[in-house]
């Protein structure tokens, strides 16, 4: 492709000298809370986004002040696990350098918001001292690798968790820029590191890898750019079906953009080298064939639709030097988190805490953040995050269970988890306002209130225990995976949402738009009607998603 057709971001990447750009100079500029425009693109590869407080834009501009710039920073956490020690550090860093709220993301990691420019380095130093980093959690690279977080039921779960770490390492950019810029590591010579995977152009767009362990689809596996589905036979990991081409983002009014579920390419047996190589080559085909002029067409889902699944597979096989085997059968039977206490195959205990929209703070009489700190201070539990934005207090010995249970009761966390209704417990909302620059409407700040208004409707129709999957996003980018829900709300403007229905409960069929730009009153009356029809016309055992698909979409 000639240079003149490349998007602006492509040029910034290529000129960046291994993602360094002028980030150090931007950081040193104390006249503004922002960084230079090109550096804003590059900072994403280092795991952070420049944002501003959208609630305060008008007030700041009336005072002729620049927007209140700050940074969101995201940890690289393949498989989503922190030790108690790391949690204590995170609690401390969140209090000292960010808004204080610890946010569990929909990709099983943690974000901190509101970090001022001068606070980025101390934040990164603390991460690094505790064996953590934020490398490649945003940007046109492989992002955080997700893996089913249902508490370890067998040794196979641990083996698969190991794959998440290895894929994350394999697909990490080779540049030392993160260490130089944020930790002041000395640069050795002027030569930019060789990076056979990313070269100097990285990927055309973000790339996501997930690993599912059937029968649980807790990680919404098919929304990933590259999806690995574990095939387990007679208690043994046989290998993975490899799928590619998932992605949920779209743009209102642009029909060339759409959500898509990944297509299964084939099976690779449980040979670590072969599996890593297969993932690697799925990435390189996207690197070489993905659209680099139009970022709205650059995700792998468009590359696959343009090339065709067979052609994509052939290209992967050519690079691999072996053929993918025919995909093995698999079945998903559920995707929700397992709340409460669960015992694993080793006899250890895990407690899944309900965290509404992943926001850990002390609020509305619930001291969740304080409780988690006190639990971490015992050193008796690990912290494992789910893609449904919850935290699992994990790997607790039988003799320590009582201590953790007592703390959970002291802070009413068990009561909070048990008392949350079925709809609320299975719901997800993305961040949206006040930090997301792309939000058209509220999501995490509004969904709890909306659910409180939907719950009486569920009671009215006798559906209060129905585990309907409802999700809300403040725009059509799908960060809260609203296209993959039985009921999806997609923000169109402040207070207005498109209503999508017809997705299935297991996350294997996307939903379809049913109504445009509804306000709250219209949302409630539409749902009241839909629930009523569902109750009177559904077949035995038919879920809301399947019913609404049959009745209104198919
Ligand atoms: Fe996302 C962009 C937040 C998961 C699709 N996402 C953003 C940005 C960075 C906005 C921006 O570009 O300026 C949001 C920052 C908000 C903030 O203030 O923190 C943002 N995305 C999030 C998180 C934090 C939502 C959450 O509440 O948890 C999730 C972080 C995951 C992580 O830890 O890596 C998050 N984003 C997702 C997912 C869900 C998933 O991966 O499981 C999707 C849909 C799947 C997919 O990738 O297609 C998703 N985010 C997007 C898109 C649409 C991309 C596209 O192909 O069109 C954008 C916009 C973009 O890239 O241009 C976006
Ligand atoms: Fe922001 Fe839209 Fe993603 Fe929500 S879905 S976090 S509003 S980009």
Dihedral of the alpha carbons of 386, 392, 397, 399, in degrees to the nearest 10? -160
Q: Is the pLDDT of residue 361 over 70?
A: yes
Average pLDDT over residues 124-140: 98
Residues 134-162, mean pLDDT to the nearest whole number: 91
For residue 436 and ligand 2, the question of a CB distance below 6 A is answered with yes
CA 320 to chain centre: 29
Q: Span 445-471, mean pLDDT?
A: 98
Average pLDDT of the residues of the chain? 96
The DSSP secondary structure of 505-526, one letter per residue, reads TTS-S--EEEEEEE-HHHHHHH
pLDDT of residue 152 exceeding 90: no
Q: How many A from CA of 264 to the centre of ligand 2?
A: 27
Cis preceding-peptide flag for 215 (omega within 30 of 0): yes
> Which atom of ligand 1 lies at the shortest distance from residue 435's CA?
18
Please give the distance, rounded to the nearest whole angstrom, from the Cα atom of residue 441 to the centre of ligand 1.
Answer: 15
pLDDT of residue 524: 98
**pLDDT for the residue numbered 187:** 81
CATH superfamily to which 425-553 belongs? Sulfite Reductase Hemoprotein, domain 1 (3.30.413.10)
pLDDT, residue 153, reads 72
pLDDT score of 456: 98
What is the percentage of the chain residues whose pLDDT exceeds 90?
Answer: 96
Mean pLDDT computed over 449-458: 98
Mean pLDDT, to the nearest integer, of 219-229?
98
Q: Which two tokens stand for residue 59?
A: 């007030």
The answer to whether residue 2 scores a pLDDT higher than 70 is: no
Token output for 405: 């249970």
Kindly state the tokens that stand for 311: 């052609």
- Ligand 2 within 6 A of CB of 477: yes
Is 274 among the residues known to form the active site? no
Q: Is the pLDDT of residue 544 over 90?
A: yes
Q: How much is the pLDDT for 190? A: 78
Residue 206 known to be catalytic: yes
430 lines ligand 1 (CB under 6 A): yes
Q: What pTM did the predictor assign? A: 0.97
List pLDDT tens digits, range 64-101.
Answer: 999 999 999 999 999 999 999 999 999 999 999 999 99
Runs of H (alpha helix) within 98-176:
117-129, 155-170
What are the distances in angstroms from CA 429 to CA 237, 324, 483?
A: 34, 37, 12
Residue 317 predicted with pLDDT over 60 = yes
Pocket test of ligand 1: the residue of 438, 479, 481, 490 to mutate, having most ligand atoms within 8 Å of its CB, is 479
Ligand 1 in reach of 431 Cβ (< 6 A): yes
pLDDT band at 286 (very low <50, low <70, confident <90, very high): very high
In this model, does residue 189 exceed pLDDT 90? no
Strands 362-363 and 391-396, by their bridges, are: unpaired
Cβ–ligand 1 contact at 478 (below 6 Å): yes
pLDDT of residue 212: 97
Q: Is pLDDT at 151 greater than 80 in this prediction?
A: no
Is 146 an active-site residue? no
Strand partners, 260: 247
**The predicted structure's pLDDT at residue 1:** 57
The residue from 143, 260, 424, 496 that is catalytic is 143
Q: Which residue in 447, 288, 413, 269 sits closest to 340, CA to CA?
A: 413
CA 147 to chain centre: 11
For residue 437, give the ligand 2 atom closest to its CA: 1
**pLDDT of amino acid 365:** 95
Spell out a b/e string for 16-40, using b for 16 or more CB atoms within 10 Å of the CB, else e: bebbbbbbeebbeeeeebbbbebbb
Is 226 an active-site residue? no
Tell me which CATH code domain 347-420 carries. 3.90.480.10
- Residue 207 pairs with which residues in a beta bridge? 142
Residue 450 has a pLDDT of: 98
| pLDDT tens digit sequence for 486-534 | 999 999 999 999 999 999 999 999 999 999 999 999 999 999 999 999 9
Pocket test for ligand 2, best of 103, 429, 432, 490 (most atoms within 8 A of CB): 432
In the chain, % of residues over pLDDT 70 = 99
> Matching CATH topology for 347-420 and 425-553?
no
Catalytic choice (44, 74, 424, 509): 74
**φ, ψ for residue 126 (rounded to 5)?**
-65, -40
Q: Which atom of ligand 2 is nearest to the CA of 440?
A: 7
- Name which of 389, 391, 352, 350 is nearest 369 in CA terms: 391
Q: Residues 151-160: what's their mean pLDDT?
A: 83
The span from the CA of 222 to the CA of 227, in Å, is: 6
Domain boundaries, the chain: 195-336, 347-420, 425-553
**Range with the lowest mean pLDDT among 100-109, 180-189, 332-341?**
180-189
Residues 6+ away with beta carbon under 8 Å from 409: 415
195-336 belongs to CATH 3.20.190.10 = no
């Amino acid at each position: 492709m000639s240079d003149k057709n490349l998007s602006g971001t492509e040029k910034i990447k290529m000129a960046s000298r291994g993602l360094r750009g002028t980030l150090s100079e931007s950081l040193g500029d104390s006249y503004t809370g922002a960084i230079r425009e090109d550096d804003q693109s590059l900072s994403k590869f280092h795991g952070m986004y420049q944002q501003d407080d959208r609630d305060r834009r008008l007030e700041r501009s009336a005072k002729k002040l620049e927007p209140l710039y700050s940074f969101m920073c995201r940890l690289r956490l393949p498989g989503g696990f922190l030790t108690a020690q790391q949690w204590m550090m995170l609690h401390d860093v969140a209090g000292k350098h960010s808004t204080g709220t610890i946010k569990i993301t929909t990709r099983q990691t943690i974000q901190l918001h509101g970090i001022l420019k001068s606070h980025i380095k101390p934040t990164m130093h603390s991460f690094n001292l505790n064996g953590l980093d934020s490398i490649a959690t945003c940007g046109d690279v492989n992002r955080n690798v997700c893996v089913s977080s249902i508490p370890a039921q067998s040794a196979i779960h641990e083996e698969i968790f190991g794959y998440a770490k290895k894929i994350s390492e394999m697909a990490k950019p080779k540049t030392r820029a993160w260490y130089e810029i944020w930790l002041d590591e000395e640069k050795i010579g002027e030569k930019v590191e060789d990076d056979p995977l990313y070269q100097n152009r990285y990927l055309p767009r973000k790339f996501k890898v997930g690993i599912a362990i059937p029968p649980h689809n807790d990680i919404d596996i098919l929304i990933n750019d590259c999806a690995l589905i574990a095939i387990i036979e007679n208690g043994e990991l046989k290998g993975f079906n490899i799928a590619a081409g998932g992605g949920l983002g779209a743009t209102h009014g642009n029909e060339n953009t759409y959500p898509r579920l990944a297509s299964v390419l084939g099976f690779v047996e449980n040979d670590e080298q072969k599996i890593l190589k297969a993932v690697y080559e799925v990435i390189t085909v996207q690197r070489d064939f993905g659209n680099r002029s139009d970022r709205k067409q650059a995700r792998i889902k468009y590359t696959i639709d343009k090339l065709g699944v067979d052609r994509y597979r052939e290209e992967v096989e050519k690079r691999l030097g072996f053929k993918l085997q025919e995909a093995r059968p698999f079945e998903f039977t559920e995707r929700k988190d397992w709340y409460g206490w669960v015992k694993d195959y080793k006899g250890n205990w895990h407690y899944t805490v309900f965290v509404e929209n992943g926001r850990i703070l002390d609020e509305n009489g619930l001291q969740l953040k304080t409780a988690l700190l006190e639990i971490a201070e015992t050193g008796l539990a690990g912290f494992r995050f789910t893609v449904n934005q919850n935290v699992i207090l994990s790997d607790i010995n039988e003799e320590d269970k009582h201590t953790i249970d007592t703390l959970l009761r002291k802070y009413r966390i068990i009561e909070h988890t048990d008392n949350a209704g079925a709809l609320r417990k299975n719901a997800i909302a993305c961040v949206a306002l006040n930090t997301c620059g792309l939000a058209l409407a509220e999501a995490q700040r509004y969904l709890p209130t909306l659910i409180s208004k939907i719950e009486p409707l569920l009671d009215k129709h006798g559906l209060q225990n129905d585990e309907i999957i409802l999700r809300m996003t403040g725009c059509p980018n799908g960060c809260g995976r609203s296209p993959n829900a039985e009921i999806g709300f997609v923000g169109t403007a402040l207070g207005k949402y498109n209503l999508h229905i017809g997705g299935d409960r297991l996350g294997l069929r996307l939903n379809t738009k049913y109504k445009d730009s509804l306000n709250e009153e219209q949302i409630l009356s539409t749902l009241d009607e839909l629930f009523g029809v569902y109750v009177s016309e559904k077949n035995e055992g038919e879920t809301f998603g399947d019913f609404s698909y049959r009745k209104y979409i198919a």
